[in-house]
Amino acid sequence: GNRPGCGQTARLMYSGSPYPASGASAHSVSSSTGAGSESSLRLDRELKLATSRADMEKERVKAEVYALLQTTDRLEALYGRGAISKDDYETHCRDLIHHFKLQEDALMRLCGMSSKEFIEKYKVDMPFGEQRLLVDKMPSTSSMETGRTAGSNIAALTCGAAFVTALDAADMDHASKEQLWDPISAVLSTINDIYTLPHDFPPKAVFQRW
């Protein structure tokens, strides 16, 4: 379908499926052919989407899952084009993920299928929505932040090991600059890899002076 432009972000507000929560109803429409005779398809006859309340609930859940995948897919495309702010993206994305989790549980309980099986069965082609709701399960901004934090934690461990090595070198009476240069440089390098530290972190200045 057509993707909304910059001025259409309001359409991303998830409003649920068009199906009622229970019961089965349909609009009646009258139609006739140009010759004045009634069409072979009786459009004035009430058509029911489901024969029972349980069946109707199943269809409602499927419609909810589809709507959430579609809305999330469009949200990702908008954010990728810079059409919405980071804050708006995160707010909408977290709301969609929360609703999807609820409907995903209902899909398994009522229909006996996972969201992945739903996508395969109905040939849903919404890769951005699928990635966000089924794989990452968090806004793209959060997943990037998580990756940076993990890298920072690894750098902190490496820095600790380098610091111990530098202390050992000093304790072994390696007093010359040449002998202490490598371990001290390793400490300074790993400190700079810890992005969570402030730029004016005092130990940085100490090691730079050394």
Position 115 pLDDT exceeds 60: yes
Q: Is residue 32 domain-resident?
A: no
Domain boundary among 119, 138, 157: 138
Whether residues 109 and 168 fall in one domain: no
Whether residues 18 and 116 fall in one domain: yes
Of 42-56, 96-110, 142-156, highest mean pLDDT: 96-110
Whether residues 131 and 159 fall in one domain: no
Domain boundary among 121, 138, 155: 138
Tell me the per-residue pLDDT of 144-190, one tens digit each, with 9 for 90 and over: 554 455 455 566 666 667 666 666 666 665 556 666 666 666 766 66
CA distances in angstroms from 207 to 3, 27, 97, 184, listed in the order given: 53, 77, 45, 7
What pLDDT shows up at residue 47? 59
Domain tally, the chain: 2
Q: Is residue 3 domain-resident?
A: no
Q: Is residue 4 domain-resident?
A: no
Whether residues 121 and 64 fall in one domain: yes
Q: Is residue 103 domain-resident?
A: yes
Residue range of the domain that includes 203 = 143-209
CA end-to-end distance (rounded Å), the chain = 62
Whether residues 176 and 129 fall in one domain: no
Q: Is residue 33 domain-resident?
A: no
Tell me the per-residue pLDDT of 20-29, one tens digit each, with 9 for 90 and over: 444 444 443 3
Global pTM value? 0.52
Whether residues 65 and 109 fall in one domain: yes
Report the CATH number at residue 70.
1.20.1440.200
